Amino acid sequence: MLILLVAPAIAHQVEIAGEVGGTVHIEPNDTPQAGEPSLTWFALTRQGGELIPLAACDCQLAVYAQPHSNDTPPVQEPPLRAVSAEGYDGIPGADITFPQVGAYELVLRGQPIPPEEFQPFDLRFSITVAAGQGQRSPSPQIETIESPSPAAIESPQPDPTQPERSSGLAWIVLSISLVASIAIGVLLRSIKVRRK
């Protein structure tokens, strides 16, 4: 069990579309940083585990800021190139510079070269981008509101037609004190009986 806690975490995302599965990895350590280029690669396989290299796939990559609708244009469409990583050779990869901190969706679409090798696919990966070295997370906007002067604030006056109400809080405190006193008394008595 301790080995599981000490072993490094590998958190590549896996998505499946029809007979094609894809794993995405983003440098460094699947945690891209805003404003800094990140090598992003996709290990694509057919059903049965056969690797699909970029040379066998007409692939396009689009990067969308989240949330987005179908008619929202991508933030960028980086060109794909063949890369070798983690034992995979010639797989689709791209350098992506995410413009700011936040959630993004990577959409990888592909068609086979030559046709009929596999079904066209559309893989979608959710990505969270952290602040880069030279960037800070966006700070919340604070609005300053001036308070009125004490003289401008009217203090509420009691309504003479209403009977004076005692505070409900006082009754609650009194009830809790009474219950606590009884409980302490019962506890002390049971301790005294056990000692005899």
Residues 151-187 pLDDT 10s = 554 545 555 555 444 445 555 555 565 566 676 766 6
Residue 56 covered by a domain: yes
Amino acid at 141: Q
Pairing of strands 88-97, 81-85: antiparallel
- Residue 177 CB neighbours (<10 A): 10
Across 8-12, 56-60, 67-71, the highest mean pLDDT is recorded for: 56-60
Q: Which two tokens stand for residue 101?
A: 């901190």
Selection from 76, 111, 113 nearest residue 95 by Cα: 76
Residue 58 covered by a domain: yes
Residue 3 covered by a domain: no
Selection from 115, 36, 106 nearest residue 78 by Cα: 106
Residue 121 covered by a domain: yes
User: What CATH number has the domain bearing residue 70?
Assistant: 2.60.40.3340
Range of the domain at 58: 9-129
Residue 76 burial by Cβ neighbours in a 10 Å radius (0-12, 13-18, 19+):
middle
Residue 71 covered by a domain: yes
The pLDDT tens digits for 99-150 are 999 999 999 999 999 888 899 999 999 999 999 876 554 544 444 445 455 4
Q: Does pTM surpass 0.95?
A: no
pLDDT of residue 40: 97
Total domains present in the chain: 1
Residue 188 covered by a domain: no
pLDDT of residue 144: 41
> Could you tell me where the beta strands, DSSP code E, fall in 2-52?
13-17, 20-26, 37-46, 51-52
